[in-house]
Structure 1
């Protein structure tokens, strides 16, 4: 089982050392004592189910293909990981902002969301949840900075304006015995941002975390806990002392329906993540940033997430940026 960390532990040096060690060795943990109200979590899960229960026409009215900012709904099979189809439906929601005039490359990700007219409460509940999660995430980031020998506010400037946080509401359908598709709910990947806090509906299963030996560790939901993992940007910031860990969701035959809601805490699109100067005793354990020609890592958040978004949604990229898609060959 993944380690469990109480947020209150991180007020102590010993607790921060444990946070550092867990995310150096495993990269994933359960977070309890986070202070997010159970009632807010219950309302979010309820409105998420109500969204997926809407008629197809209502969901299709906010399909991502309509958004040059990669916001909105994707049908089952509408996203790719490593070029393979993920079997889930979802809606991607960022922070509502006006588009950047004349934007190029990753700055085109900034813009408004698409909200279903038939479910007005979705906007208010998701916004309330996002605000609460931002405070928890910033606390975690400050405790990581302290655990690595830097001031608590080391990363704050990157998050001081226009954070590009993303929330996904996801439904993995039940897998029938006669289903011809494979087991991939979402393929093995690393998150492109700074850190992720995942809310999983109780009673579900399927999330697996890659172990050091290449095997897979099951990560079922724990009552009242978020599953937390670091993203590629913290790997860059720590020269690989903290390394983003691959994970996946499997939906084998007989798997029940699964609702999950990842909250991706992210800085401004144009923010360059600063590199921490590790204490001398930690420097020998820094493994360096993983070098994978198929997945280059960047220290500008927008560049790193643009890479991921355009690969995951080649239809949206082709729809809005067809000339660039053909020129750069960014189709998955």
Structure 2
């Protein structure tokens, strides 16, 4: 276990007789690094295995089969995609799933016609795994429930009412599976070969499960150094996102993290990003607001979600990817290895 990123017995921490030192450990991690690992989290092992095993089989398919699972409209957050580095070497492949399959399903679930446009570009489901849609829904629901309970724990350690954080039942979620391949190229230190650049998630909380052969996920300490997040198959990683930092007026630190290459071994992670409902405007809550004002501006969940694709493509899109998106056709990046 990392001294910076504790392993927390979630059931014990939420119990009426939770040990004071356990709660102090949670608070310290939430206020300093923004990452905890939780065990005894209540998610059945078969829910995690049903999702991860299904996507492992998908990501192990031959490339020509996976190419058929790319978004038919070039949407970067639907279906299978991969990205190479500037030399064409494969750094990461990813499978993205929206909360609802399409705009009709979103409206049927109660979203407004405007909000349902977020799902105009449909999910892509692998025909090789007919049970994966149901497995994914169970996974999303279970991980969103973990996020609610961790929020309750964070309220407890900060001595505010459990209902302080207005996450609600109609949460907005996105789900992603990341597959990090072998990286057998010589001469790359952690800082020289990052498979996923340093960032903090734009969620309230992100709940993640990781598996593989090396601890490539790293959290950023307050002093700027890095600490690895050990792989524990019974643990879920919970990252504080920037929306929770906003709600707490900076009291809870965003969990900045990155992924480094693992050489001749591989790693996979599956994450659910949990946000409040799309009509929420996030700003410092009364329990944390400074009467002298705040450095945090209000954030519209809807405006951020609806502009997410264009912002991503503006920052990271390559010319051929931008062309595919504008022309409403699939995009599959070329790789050399």
Which TM-score bucket, shorter chain as reference? 0.7 to 0.9
Q: Distance in 2 between matches of 1:148 and 1:318?
A: 48
The answer to whether the aligner puts 1:87 opposite 2:91 as a matched pair is yes
Please name the residue that 2:169 is paired with.
160
Q: Distance in 2 between matches of 1:148 and 1:50?
A: 42
Within-5 A mapping of 1:1-332: 1=2, 2-8=5-11, 9-12=13-16, 14=20, 16=23, 18-64=25-71, 66=73, 68=75, 70-77=77-84, 87-99=91-103, 108-111=117-120, 112-156=122-166, 158-161=167-170, 163-177=171-185, 183-251=193-261, 254-273=263-282, 275-278=284-287, 288-289=295-296, 299-305=299-305, 309-313=309-313, 314=317, 319-320=324-325
Q: Deviations over 1:161-202 (max 9, x none)?
A: 3x3211111110001136999612100011011111111115
Q: Is the 8 A contact 2:36 2:239 kept in 1?
A: yes
Q: Is the 8 A contact 1:20 1:147 kept in 2?
A: yes
- The alpha carbon displacement at 1:67 in A equals 5.3
TM-score, reference length from structure 1: 0.78
Q: Distance in 2 between matches of 1:259 and 1:47?
A: 13
- The alpha carbon displacement at 1:148 in A equals 3.6
Q: Distance in 1 between matches of 2:90 and 2:281?
A: 30
C-alpha change, 1:204 and 1:45, in structure 2 (3 Å) is farther
Q: Distance in 2 between matches of 1:66 and 1:205?
A: 35
Q: Is the 8 A contact 1:239 1:275 kept in 2?
A: yes
Q: Distance in 2 between matches of 1:39 and 1:51?
A: 18
Q: Distance in 2 between matches of 1:241 and 1:255?
A: 40
- The alpha carbon displacement at 1:145 in A equals 3.2
Q: Distance in 2 between matches of 1:205 and 1:311?
A: 30
- Give the aligned CA root-mean-square deviation in angstroms: 3.5
Q: Is the 8 A contact 1:94 1:164 kept in 2?
A: no
- The alpha carbon displacement at 1:86 in A equals 8.3
Q: Distance in 1 between matches of 2:31 and 2:326?
A: 38
- The alpha carbon displacement at 1:317 in A equals 6.4
Q: Distance in 1 between matches of 2:90 and 2:246?
A: 27
Please name the residue that 2:333 is paired with.
none
C-alpha change, 1:227 and 1:10, in structure 2 (3 Å) is same
- The alpha carbon displacement at 1:7 in A equals 1.1
List alignment gaps of at least 5 residues for structure 2.
Answer: 328-337
- The alpha carbon displacement at 1:46 in A equals 1.5
TM-score, reference length from structure 2: 0.77
List alignment gaps of at least 5 residues for structure 1.
Answer: 290-296, 323-332
Q: Distance in 1 between matches of 2:215 and 2:72?
A: 30
Q: Deviations over 1:205-256 (max 9, x none)?
A: 211111111111111212411111100000110111112132100105x241
Q: Deviations over 1:254-313 (max 9, x none)?
A: 241111111211222232235323369xx69x9954xxxxxxx75222334456543434
Q: Distance in 1 between matches of 2:70 and 2:187?
A: 25
Q: Is the 8 A contact 1:240 1:287 kept in 2?
A: no
3-state SS of 1:221 partner: coil
Q: Distance in 1 between matches of 2:185 and 2:101?
A: 44
